[in-house]
Amino acid sequence: MNLERISLEQLRVFTEVVRAGSFLAAAKAIGRTQSAVSYTVATLEQQLGIQLFDRSQYRPKLTPTGEALLGDAHAILERVDRLQARASAIEHGLEAELALAVDVYFPLSRLLDCLNDFRATFPGVTFRLYVEALGAVAERVLAGSAQLGILATLPELPPGLDGFSMPPIRVLAVASPDHPLVKYAGALDRASLQEHVQLVLTDRSALTEGRDYGVISPTTWRLSDLGVKHAMLLASMGWGYMPIHWVEDDLAAGRLVALPLDMQPQGGMQLAMHVATRIGQPVGPALRWWMERLRRSERHAG
C-alpha cells in the first residue's frame, strides 16, 4: 500500500465512476478516454491494495470495501475544494457578478430591502435573480449558474450543497368557492381529495425527476408556473397547495377557500426553507454579504 502517491485526480475519477454508473459514462463526463479512466482506477486500487469495483458484471459495482472508502474520498475532495475556494476568494476579491436563485414559494417581498441595500453597498456588482421551482434552484447552484440559492420543498439539502435553515413558510390546500370540495361538510379525507383534479407545481430538474411532493390525487394537472396555477385555482379548474402569502387576499375576499384536510394541521403545513451554496464555491465579499444578511434578517423574522 503506497498512500503517499495517491492523487486527487484518482479520487475524483473514482467518485465520478460511481456517480456516472460506468467507466464509459465517467469518461464522457470528464472528457477522458475510457481506457484512461479504467487505468486511473486500476492504479488507485493497486496503490490502496484493495479492489474498489467488481467488474464481473456489465456495469462496475462497488465492492464492500469500495463502498466504505467512497465516503472518505468525498470528504477529502470536499476539504480540498473548500481550501481552493478560500484561496480563490482571498486572491480575487470582489465578484464581478452574483446570481441568486430563489424558490417560487419564497415571498420575494422579504428580499426587497436586501436588494436595495445590496445595490447601495456593491454598486459595481452585476446581479441576477432566478425564480425557480422545486429542484431547479438546487440544480442552478450545483451547476454554478447561481452562487446562492433559497430552497423550498426539498426536505433536506442535496449532496454538494451547504447552508443553513430559515423559518418555514405556510402552505394551504385551497379551491374556489364553487369547487365541489368546498361543499363537503367537515374535514376532507384522502379519498375525497382523490376524486378531483389536483393542480401540481412541477419542474424539469433531474433532482426531482420521478419524485412527487404533496401529491394526493391520481388525476393531476402539472404546471411549471405558480402564477398559472393560481389563475387555474381561481377558475375552479382543480384544487391545490399554495403558499399563504400568495392567497391571503383571495382568502380574505372569498375568491379562494382554505380546504380543511384531515391530514394537515389547522392553518396549513410548514414548508422548510434553506439558504444554500455549493461546497467549494468561492465566497467573495458580495456572496458573504448576502449570506450574513439573510441569516440576520430571517433570525429577526423568525
Beta bridge partners of 257: 175
pLDDT recorded at residue 155: 66
More confident residue, 267 or 121: 121
Q: Are residues 277 and 160 in the same domain?
A: yes
Q: Are residues 12 and 87 in the same domain?
A: yes
Query: pLDDT digits over 197-238, tens only?
Result: 999 887 666 555 555 566 788 888 988 889 999 999 999 999
CATH, residue 7 = 1.10.10.10
How many CA atoms lie less than 13 Å away from 257 in the CB half-sphere?
Answer: 15
Q: Are residues 42 and 178 in the same domain?
A: no
pLDDT band at 83 (very low <50, low <70, confident <90, very high): confident
Q: Are residues 191 and 135 in the same domain?
A: no
Q: Are residues 39 and 103 in the same domain?
A: no
pLDDT band at 302 (very low <50, low <70, confident <90, very high): very low
CATH, residue 146 = 3.40.190.10
More confident residue, 87 or 233: 233
Q: Are residues 259 and 126 in the same domain?
A: no
Whether residue 167 has pLDDT greater than 60? yes
In this prediction the pTM is 0.64
Domain extent at residue 87: 3-91
How large is the angle between the packed helices 8-20 and 23-30, nearest 10 degrees?
Answer: 120
Query: pLDDT digits over 241-295, tens only?
Result: 999 999 999 999 999 999 998 887 777 788 888 999 999 888 889 999 999 999 8
CA atoms of 150 and 275, how far apart (whole Å): 5
Q: Provide the domain count of the chain.
A: 3
Q: Are residues 51 and 26 in the same domain?
A: yes
What is the distance, to the nearest Å, from the Cα of residue 188 to the centroid of all Cα atoms in its chain?
31
Mean pLDDT of all residues belonging to the chain:
87
Q: Are residues 136 and 282 in the same domain?
A: yes
SS3 at position 272: strand
Q: Are residues 158 and 199 in the same domain?
A: no
- Dihedral of CA atoms 246, 251, 254, 255 in degrees, nearest 10, equals 20
